Structure formats: structure tokens, C-alpha cells
Amino acid sequence: MQMKKKVILSLLALVILNACGTTAFTGRKQLLVFSDEAVSALSDQSYAEFLQSAVISKDALHKEMIRTVGNRMVTALTAYLEGIGQPDYLTGLNWEFQLVKDPAVNAFCLPNGKIVLFEGILNFADNPNHLAIVIGHEMGHAVARHGNERMSQQALLQSAGQIATQVFGQTKYGQNEQAVKLFAQAFAFGSNVGIVLPFSRKHEYEADRIGLYIMALAGYDIYQTPNFWEKMMAHNHSSSFDFLSTHPADIKRIAAIAEILEEAAKYYRDPELRVK
Ligand SMILES: [Zn+2]
């Protein structure tokens, strides 16, 4: 028994050693058991299912605005990461921006870079700068591989016992039943289509930070961000299909955003040229 325990522990240690990554921009060490490709493929399946049940918005004006902002953010992020020799952070990300006909004040991003906004959020984000705040935050989750990290943490928790060898027989494993289950748990996707479980506080703050950096790289006005979140916070939300239920905003979080604005401003090529 002792021996078995020892074997499992050393296996887990091996997995952790082999499965550490660092986040883009912030350089935080993170546990990544899955390959980017595997997580991306799982996201593709969920996204296809989501699109089958969702109604795509007919609001041509806002759809165009979202695509324009999204593409500009993607172009800026890609150029930056390639420029500093870190294009690997883009592996598995096939960005796409959708607007669905749904009054919920909501938005989400899957780990494959598919970003979905619900029409309800346009009540708060109806200009390019505000859309860039929402899109930047969602892109932040994706580029920091928060989905993979959450799945990996759950895999580790669930596997600390007797199934350690079974699950971790190989690191960076591809798509199998276990991975499909973990993805479903990590995102609660499927039964509640369109609901992505809340990320941890740490992930929220990190997505805020990276979102601001991407906004600045793309030339959007990061200084509108605290106001935007205050407006969102004041919105009396009652539905569980709500952006604030998955992205809890409070005074502390808004204060944290305000504190990093100057640092994020360093990512502007020319702050004078930012979108008004
Ligand atoms: Zn978030």
C-alpha cells in the first residue's frame, strides 16, 4: 500500500514537472496537463453544438462592429506575440466572433478562441471601446489558457487517488473519454448551453490585466474600463444568464483595474492615437 502511494505521488510529481507552463504577458507558472490542440478540439465540438441551438443575431451593424474590434485586437495580439518570439501562445486559437440573439447580458470565450456575445450586452457595450473591454477580457482568458488550467487542476484533484496511473499514464494526452468529461465539468457546457462556469478570482484579475494590454496594443481606450465595469455593476442583474454571474465585478476588482492602467498604457504604440 505504501509502495502504491509512493508510486502515485511520484507519478503526480512527474506530471507536474512535465506539465508546467507560464502564462502569456504575466509569466505566471501554471499547471497544464492537456495539449492546446486537445483542448481546442474539445472546444470545437462544444462550439458546434452551441451554434446549432443558438440563434445568430440579425443586427448587422453590431455584428460588423464586433468583428471589426475583434479582428483588430487579434491582429495586434498576434503581431505582438510574434514580435517578441512567443507565437506558441496562439496555438489552438482560431478566433471567431459571434453575436447571438438573446437578451441576456452575457459573453463568453471558449479555449479555442470562439467568442460569443449575447445581444443583451449591447445595452452596456455599444461602441468600439466598450466592446474592446469585453472582447479583450475574454481573449485574456483564452490566451492565458485558463480553460486548460482549470481542466488540469480538476484532473489532478480527481486523480490524486487510485486513478492516478490511469489518467496520467501519459502526459499531454489527446482526446479521450476522461478529457471529454473534464472539459464538460470545467465549462458546464452542454446542459446549460451558453453558460461558462465562473473562473476563479485569480483568473478574472489576470484576464482583466491581459485584456487591457491587448486593448492598448490595438489602440483602444483603456481608460474607459473602470467606468464600464461600474456601469455593469450598477445594472440590477437577476438572471443566471448574466455576464456578472460569471465575471463577478466588485469595487475591489474595479480598483485593481484602475491601478494597472498606467502599466497597461505602456503597450500603446502611440497613446495619442487611441480610439475615441
Ligand atoms: Zn472573465
Which positions are annotated as active-site residues? Answer: 138
CA–CA dist 82, 88 (Å, integer): 9
Among residues 67, 64, 134, 57, the alpha carbon closest in space to that of 100 is found at 57
H runs (alpha helix) in the chain: 2-18, 36-53, 60-83, 128-143, 146-159, 164-167, 177-187, 201-218, 225-234, 243-246, 251-259, 261-265
Which residues are found with C-beta within 5 Å of the ion, ligand 1? Answer: 204, 207, 247
Q: In this predicted model, what pLDDT tens digit does every residue of 72-106 receive, in sequence order?
A: 999 999 999 999 999 999 999 999 999 999 998 88
pTM of the predicted model as reported, rounded to 2 decimal places = 0.83
**Tally of domains within the chain:** 1
Query: Looking at the DSSP assignment, which residues form a beta bridge with residue 97?
Result: 115
State the pairing for strand pair 114-118/96-100: parallel
Q: Which of 152-156, 159-163, 178-182, 236-240 has the lowest mean pLDDT?
A: 159-163
Q: How confident is the model at residue 155 (pLDDT cuts 50, 70, 90)?
A: confident
Which domain does 158 fall in, by range? 2-273
What's the CA-to-centroid distance between 2 and ligand 1, angstroms? 42
What's the CA-to-centroid distance between 6 and ligand 1, angstroms? 38
What's the CA-to-centroid distance between 246 and ligand 1, angstroms? 7
What's the CA-to-centroid distance between 18 and ligand 1, angstroms? 27
